[in-house]
A and B are shown apart, each in its own frame.
Chain A
Amino acid sequence: MELLGLFNYWVFAVLLMVGFYAVIAKTNMVKKLLGLSIFQGAVFLLYITMDKVDGGTAPIIQPGVVDAIYSNPLPQVLILTAIVVGISTTALGLALIVRIYEAYGTIEEDETQRLDIE
């Protein structure tokens, strides 16, 4: 059980680093944005993992059921908000990339920098 509990956190850390690597190392703006989405997705996993209670179920009161163990619903609500924020960020980022492509004719970051210097 201990290992299973930690497994999620390992996935969180690996995903976080995969996303972060893409953000830093890639020059293609769409790939950067993809990395950013993975990076944010990792954090969603962290929140979802921490709310799980062993043997817990969805926090809904049912008739005839007493002493049920519930998972903590709050982090799920928080992450629902964070997912919305993530989608807005991705949408805005993609919109910016479209405008950048129209203005520069490329979406490679190093090439846009070179074009600006010229």
Chain B
Amino acid sequence: MSIASQLPALQIVVPLLVAPLTVLLRGSGLAWAAATAASAMAFAIAVALTLTALDGATISYDMGGWPAPYGIELRLDAFSALLLLLTTGASTLSLLGARDSIAELMGESREPLFYAAWLVALAGLCGIAITGDAFNVFVFMEISSLATYVLIAAGPDRRALTAAFKYLIMGTVGATFYLIGVGLVYMMTGTLNFADMEARLAEVDEVRPIVVAAGFITIGLALKAAIFPLHVWLPNAYSSAPNLVTVFIAACSTKVALYVLLRFDFFVFHGNLVGHAFQFSSFLAPLAVLGILVGSAVAVVESNVKRLLAYSSVAQLGYILLGASFGDLAGMTAAITLMFNHGLAKGALFMAIAALAMHTRGHTLADLSGAARQMPWTAAALVIAGASLIGIPGTAGFISKWLLLQAALQQGPLGVVAAVAVVAGSLAALAYVWRIIEPLYFGTAEGSTAGGSTAVYTATPPLLLLALWLAAGANVYFGLIPAVPVSLSELAAAELLGHLR
């Protein structure tokens, strides 16, 4: 057996095995190096898997040698490949930049534990993306969530603790709802494998438990994915977590929950429940539009930069959901591309904020005043990432917004309403990104701590700057040459909607 055929398993095993080893590594920087190397290896595996998925091939891997419907199947298609790419990429870049700021925050003795928790979270997220088994998704979801609560609680002030506790309560309720749904589906079909479930649901006569299950699963995962109005845990968690942790979770954790939501609702339920498409879109499309409007509106008036970007995430999740709720190929393609591109843009933005915060020591807009003069490269990367978030041509954000608008305009009169919401949201994005850029470039340094007894760093650490520019560069690269994410999204959308009967 060649090592290449074991790649799906290694995708999870590498970070999961390195995590306990990291705990043992004492001495400055060793744990960081091990974690970064493991994460980079996971990224390399994800790239290798993506290359296979680009051909439209699906890899099925029988865990432990038990054949698919009975054993646990790891299943890699275009959708999971895209998610793996985003998750491992975000983890690698934020780890690459994390060394100095985490060393300062955690101290040498707790540092290994922190990186171990990080790798466990990464392993969990990869596991969700690659597994083909509904219960396995639950287990990986809890693995990644528990580790994420720990990472958030590591935040610099005590608010991180209450934010982590709130997230723990809401996350567990969401996961338990999902568990109830899976139980009900298992009761009616006797299987936990997604593909098998899809096939067997067609033979179920009594659909009421399945409808109830669809409700539980959708609500539970909506909680995990912070879909408006179930987003209340998100701004606190994002704003009080350590800066580099925010980069990691903002780029991928809600998207992974959304991935499971789309997989369940479209791959499993869509073809088997009468009226499911209508129910899905009439329930979630209004929430998506409200999410866009409310999230953007709050972001326009918020004064803490991290909270501002967190509310912008609520709005962006609305775009993704809106695309999915159209229920056609174009909408789904747009939604999946958005998942990827928003991860790129928001990850890069939070990373720029993390870099600036090492100097300014604060997260309010006033703290950023004039910081561009000291940190021109960091500020320039922030502008690029901001442009991508708004959707300015030449950046990745433009591609997905364009696809979403095209899909919306195919939907008739209600689609025009959706398109208006998208445009309004983008204008609001222009406003709130400008609110960050304005003090950064044109603010006077007074009012900030620039004179600074507390400012340790007068420039961004080189590794963080490198990671930041790689992230910003990815935004430009995928804006100019969008072939990889778009073709993966098209394949994924066709896979999700291919089961329509």
Q: For the complex, would chain B's binding face be called helix, strand, loop or mixed by DSSP majority?
A: helix
A46 contacts B180, C-beta separation under 8 Å: yes
Contact check: which of A32, A43, A99, A113 meets B169 at CB < 8 Å? Answer: A32
Contacts of B305 in A (CB 8 A): none
Query: Known contacts being A36-B173, A40-B172, is A75 close to B165, with CB within 8 Å?
Result: no
Contact check: which of A75, A85, A97, A112 meets B142 at CB < 8 Å? Answer: A85
Q: Roughly how many angstroms separate A23 CA and B150 CA in the complex, as a whole number?
A: 21
Stretch at the interface among B153-161, B198-206, B353-361, B474-482: B153-161
Interface presence of B398 (CB below 8 A) = no
B186 contacts A75, C-beta separation under 8 Å: yes
Contact check: which of A32, A40, A92, A109 meets B149 at CB < 8 Å? Answer: A92
A54–chain B nearest beta-carbon distance, Å:
15
Query: Known contacts being A46-B183, A92-B146, A116-B162, is A82 close to B173, with CB within 8 Å?
Result: no
B149 contacts A43, C-beta separation under 8 Å: no
Query: Known contacts being A88-B146, A99-B153, is A93 close to B162, with CB within 8 Å?
Result: no
A92 contacts B138, C-beta separation under 8 Å: no
Contacts of B162 in A (CB 8 A): 100, 104, 109, 112-113, 116
A-facing residues in B114-171 (Cβ within 8 Å): 135, 138-139, 142, 146, 149-150, 153, 158-159, 161-162, 164-165, 168-169
Contacts of A46 in B (CB 8 A): 180, 183
Q: Roughly how many angstroms separate A20 CA and B169 CA in the complex, as a whole number?
A: 11
Contacts of A100 in B (CB 8 A): 158, 161-162, 165
A-facing residues in B271-318 (Cβ within 8 Å): none
Q: Roughly how many angstroms separate A75 CA and B373 CA in the complex, as a whole number?
A: 61
Query: Known contacts being A81-B139, A82-B138, A116-B159, is A50 close to B183, with CB within 8 Å?
Result: yes
A92 contacts B176, C-beta separation under 8 Å: no
Contacts of A14 in B (CB 8 A): none
B66–chain A nearest beta-carbon distance, Å:
13
Q: How many chain-B residues does the 8 Å CB contact rule pick out?
A: 24
Interface presence of B368 (CB below 8 A) = no
B158 contacts A104, C-beta separation under 8 Å: yes
A96 contacts B164, C-beta separation under 8 Å: yes
A36 contacts B169, C-beta separation under 8 Å: yes
A50 contacts B186, C-beta separation under 8 Å: yes
Contact check: which of B135, B142, B168, B186 meets A93 at CB < 8 Å? Answer: B168
A89 contacts B186, C-beta separation under 8 Å: no
Interface presence of B187 (CB below 8 A) = yes
B169 contacts A40, C-beta separation under 8 Å: no
Q: For the complex, would chain A's binding face be called helix, strand, loop or mixed by DSSP majority?
A: helix
Contact check: which of B158, B165, B176, B187 meets A40 at CB < 8 Å? Answer: B176
A103 contacts B183, C-beta separation under 8 Å: no
A96 contacts B183, C-beta separation under 8 Å: no
Q: Roughly how many angstroms separate A9 CA and B142 CA in the complex, as a whole number?
A: 25
Contacts of B165 in A (CB 8 A): 29, 93, 96-97, 100
Q: Roughly how many angstroms separate A46 CA and B168 CA in the complex, as a whole number?
A: 23
B-facing residues in A16-68 (Cβ within 8 Å): 16, 20, 23, 29, 32-33, 36, 39-40, 43, 46-47, 50
Interface presence of B179 (CB below 8 A) = yes
Q: Roughly how many angstroms separate A88 CA and B186 CA in the complex, as a whole number?
A: 25
B-facing residues in A65-117 (Cβ within 8 Å): 75, 78, 81-82, 85, 88-89, 92-93, 96-97, 99-100, 103-104, 109, 112-113, 116
Q: Roughly how many angstroms separate A23 CA and B176 CA in the complex, as a whole number?
A: 13
Contacts of B173 in A (CB 8 A): 20, 23, 36, 39
Q: Roughly how many angstroms separate A20 CA and B180 CA in the complex, as a whole number?
A: 14
Query: Known contacts being A92-B146, A92-B149, is A99 close to B161, with CB within 8 Å?
Result: yes
Contact check: which of B158, B168, B179, B183 meets A92 at CB < 8 Å? Answer: B168
Q: Roughly how many angstroms separate A85 CA and B171 CA in the complex, as a whole number?
A: 13
B187 contacts A50, C-beta separation under 8 Å: yes
Contacts of B139 in A (CB 8 A): 81, 85
Contact check: which of A33, A78, A89 meets B146 at CB < 8 Å? Answer: A89
Q: Roughly how many angstroms separate A84 CA and B176 CA in the complex, as a whole number?
A: 13
Contact check: which of B142, B153, B180 meets A89 at CB < 8 Å? Answer: B142
A96 contacts B149, C-beta separation under 8 Å: yes
A39-B176, A82-B138, A116-B159 are known; give 4 further A-B pairs, CB within 8 A: A32-B169, A93-B168, A100-B165, A116-B158
- B contacts, CB < 8 Å to A: 135, 138-139, 142, 146, 149-150, 153, 158-159, 161-162, 164-165, 168-169, 172-173, 176, 179-180, 183, 186-187
